[in-house]
Amino acid sequence: MLSYAGRTGKPRAQPVPVRIGGFGGIAGLVDYLRRERVTHLVDATHPFAATMSGHAAAAAQEAGVAHIMLTRPPWVASQGDCWTHVPDIPAAVMALEGEAKRVMLALGRMHVDSFAAQPQHHYLLRFVDAPAEVPALPRHGLIVDRGPFTLEGDMALMREHGVELIVSKNAGGGGAQAKLAAARMLGLPVLMIDRPPSPTARVTHEVGEVLDWLHHGADRGV
């Protein structure tokens, strides 16, 4: 059973059964695991879905279910990158104090409105789905597009919109990494939001290791 939070309006079709929506906190997830007689829980949520990951780890322990986290390896700065690290969204908003710039907010749609506290900037937004409501940013441009993106495409996008700074979560993986390579090639600074702490759990970056765990090692402990 593949469980989606419901953040994306039109998720891609999957070859397994799918459910959409929350569980009702830790207690609700425990109830679901027991009711459905789940034996193995794979937490493959977004690296910034800290609440869900915490709930999954706690619920698995309470329900006696084997548990593993599958997460993308974080991005690491390369030679030529100009990254400034901040711990969270509020710190990123504060870091944008100062003169007006053209800023690409590569964050998805959940936290965009927080940047209305820095209204002097012109923001470039890129969402998977068109938003139901207009973002609260007084000056912005919006592109609706779904990755994976390319280096050439992101370089052209940044040049077209005169981007001077990129704000990004360290989501990891290859689907959205092109913007960082484009920033490197164009000499643009990146404000990188570091990942929140993960719960204590077995963690892997490889799907193959999850499959091996399911077939051979899950019964040896979480």
Model confidence at 204: pLDDT above 80: yes
The 10s digit of each residue's pLDDT in 129-159 is 888 889 999 999 999 988 789 999 999 999 9
Q: Could you tell me which of 12, 73, 101 has the C-alpha nearest to residue 209?
A: 73
Query: Between 50-63 and 25-35, two packed helices, what is the crossing angle to 10 degrees?
Result: 50
The type of residue at 64 is G
Query: Is the Cβ–Cβ distance between 146 and 126 less than 8 Å?
Result: no
Q: What is the maximal distance between C-alpha atoms in the chain?
A: 57
pLDDT in tens, 159-191: 999 999 999 999 898 778 999 999 999 999 999
Residue 197 near residue 87 (C-beta atoms within 8 A): no
Give the integer Cα–Cα distance in Å for 170 and 213: 26
**pTM for this prediction:** 0.81
What pLDDT is attached to residue 58?
95
The structure tokens 């990146």 sit at 190
71/73 Cα distance (integer angstroms): 6
